[in-house]
Amino acid sequence: MKSDLKNIYNSLGISDEVAEFGEKTLESLKERFEKIDEIAEINQLKVLAALQKNQVSEACLHGTSGYGYNDMGREKLEAVYADIFHTEDALVRPQITCGTHALALALMSNLRPGDELLSPVGKPYDTLEEVIGIRPSKGSLAEYGVTYKQVDFLPDGGFDWDGIKAAVNEKTKLVTIQRSKGYQTRHTLSVSEIGELISFIKNIKSDVICMVDNCYGEFVETIEPSDVGADMCVGSLIKNPGGGLAPIGGYIAGKKSCVENAAYRLTSPGLGKEVGASLGILQSFYQGLFLSPTVTACALKSAIFGANIYEKLGFSVLPNSTEDRHDIIQAITFGRADAVEAFCRGIQAAAPIDSHVTPIPWDMPGYDAPVIMAAGAFVSGSSIELSADGPIKPPYAVYFQGGLTWPHGKFGILKSLQSLVDNGIVLW
């Protein structure tokens, strides 16, 4: 390592041993990083082509107020998303407050009393449990008479094809497929695997709506779940597609009928997509989307670097150091609560915002155990920015993701390792 870079790392609290360990780890990653850059280039051109096709102009960057009638920028942005995802329509709004809200909106607008929701990929993300009614909550799908079935993965991590076939019945209206792992130690689904699952389900019941929770997966591959049969792709704008600039928002891209139902649920029957002021937010949405493929590539490099670092130290990592990536999340299982907390303190200390703050576990709404979150971000809660979190319960795994730039992602991983070293958890 060059002496000037080492000196800067030292001044930021990184020891020579940790810095050198990082540099040695990086030596073997050049080829993988080149492949990530290639995917980013393809996706960048895909976004650019959609912007140009829809003739986005400077006037599209200015927002509307009040009812938001005739909002050209909002309408073109939704057309751009539909083109990128190769769907009939899209709903992209700041009024969608988060990823959970986007998913709840897609589910509640396309399910009716007496319908059944099926998850063929095991337990959904924690916050969806209350949306569905697995854990009782006011306004859940269960309260409206929507039933729920779940088919877990097989012990080897594969789909339980027989179980799925048995679960699909005349009441099955919508199938929800979670691409990422959430707070679980299962593998993330590739777009190819999602396509295989959708094809299997559609062959059993062709009119079933297949929805994919695409959070953390956008632009990781060169195709999206909507390219392999998904009727709806749903996600948050403060993750990959917002590029770190979108301050709020979510999207639903899919079949026109599904998106229309969601729009009527978001606003009001009879109004749908025609209302919803964009205020002054459209430039951030457009520019964030434009930057998203490159930002996602930086997050992927950070995840791969972290996996290699911690696998070399003997910890269980998922995905492992050599696996292909299908989202930006990296899980590390420490097996002890103090290690999860020390890791998160290191990530927080590397942040550009609130680096002086110490994260501690707390009882977050929607979770069944205390959760610790490290996220010193420009946008509160933005997990495309370098962040880490995890529930304080067995197997004591931490999940980190993000990094708007690769140098910051690299520094964050080194800082997390330094925190573990300083706390006597990692011994050289």
Kindly state whether residue 331 falls inside one of the protein's structural domains.
Answer: yes
Same domain, residue pair 254 and 335: no
Residue 110's pLDDT band, with cuts at 50, 70 and 90, is very high
Specify the DSSP element, H or E, that contains 202: helix 191-204
Same domain, residue pair 173 and 142: yes
Residue closest to 102 by CA, chosen among 137, 72, 127: 127
State yes or no: pLDDT of 428 exceeds 80.
Answer: no
Q: Domain range holding 12? A: 3-43+293-422
State which of 240, 267, 289 marks the end of a domain: 289
Residue 186 has what pLDDT?
Answer: 87
Q: Residue 3 and residue 10: Cα distance in Å, rounded?
A: 10
Residue 175 has what pLDDT?
Answer: 98
State yes or no: pLDDT of 365 exceeds 80.
Answer: no
Total residue length of the chain: 428
DSSP state of 39: H
Kindly state whether residue 54 falls inside one of the protein's structural domains.
Answer: no
Q: Residue 413 and residue 419: Cα distance in Å, rounded?
A: 10
Residue-wise pLDDT for 77-100, tens only, equals 999 999 999 999 999 999 999 999
The pLDDT mean for the chain works out to: 96
Kindly state whether residue 178 falls inside one of the protein's structural domains.
Answer: yes
Q: Find tokens 């959430």 and name the residue.
A: 182
State yes or no: pLDDT of 323 exceeds 80.
Answer: yes
Same domain, residue pair 18 and 96: no
Residue-wise pLDDT for 396-419, tens only, equals 999 999 999 999 999 999 999 999
Same domain, residue pair 236 and 282: yes
Residue 386 has what pLDDT?
Answer: 97
Kindly state whether residue 207 falls inside one of the protein's structural domains.
Answer: yes
Residue 113 has what pLDDT?
Answer: 98
Residue 32 has what pLDDT?
Answer: 97
- Give me the mean pLDDT over the 377-385 stretch: 95
State yes or no: pLDDT of 266 exceeds 80.
Answer: yes
Q: How many domains does the chain have?
A: 2
Residue 185's pLDDT band, with cuts at 50, 70 and 90, is confident
State yes or no: pLDDT of 11 exceeds 80.
Answer: yes
Specify the DSSP element, H or E, that contains 381: none
Same domain, residue pair 261 and 172: yes
Q: Residue 374 and residue 376: Cα distance in Å, rounded?
A: 7
State yes or no: pLDDT of 35 exceeds 90.
Answer: yes
Kindly state whether residue 170 falls inside one of the protein's structural domains.
Answer: yes
Q: Give me the CATH number covering residue 213.
A: 3.40.640.10
Q: Which DSSP string corresponds to 227-274?
A: GGT-SEEEEETTSGGGTTT--S-EEEEE-HHHHHHHHHHHS-TTTGGG
Same domain, residue pair 377 and 240: no
Same domain, residue pair 273 and 321: no
Kindly state whether residue 258 falls inside one of the protein's structural domains.
Answer: yes
Residue 182's pLDDT band, with cuts at 50, 70 and 90, is confident
State yes or no: pLDDT of 366 exceeds 80.
Answer: no
Same domain, residue pair 245 and 345: no
State yes or no: pLDDT of 265 exceeds 80.
Answer: yes
Q: Give me the CATH number covering residue 14.
A: 3.90.1150.60
Residue 364's pLDDT band, with cuts at 50, 70 and 90, is confident
State yes or no: pLDDT of 16 exceeds 90.
Answer: yes
Same domain, residue pair 316 and 284: no
Same domain, residue pair 192 and 327: no
- Give me the mean pLDDT over the 150-156 stretch: 96
Residue 311 has what pLDDT?
Answer: 98
Q: Residue 338 and residue 325: Cα distance in Å, rounded?
A: 28
Kindly state whether residue 342 falls inside one of the protein's structural domains.
Answer: yes
State yes or no: pLDDT of 331 exceeds 90.
Answer: yes
State yes or no: pLDDT of 223 exceeds 80.
Answer: yes
Residue 3 has what pLDDT?
Answer: 86
Share of the chain above pLDDT 90, in %: 95
**CB atoms inside a 10 Å sphere around CB 425:** 17
Same domain, residue pair 299 and 189: no
Share of the chain above pLDDT 70, in %: 100
State yes or no: pLDDT of 218 exceeds 80.
Answer: yes
Same domain, residue pair 285 and 301: no
State yes or no: pLDDT of 126 exceeds 90.
Answer: no
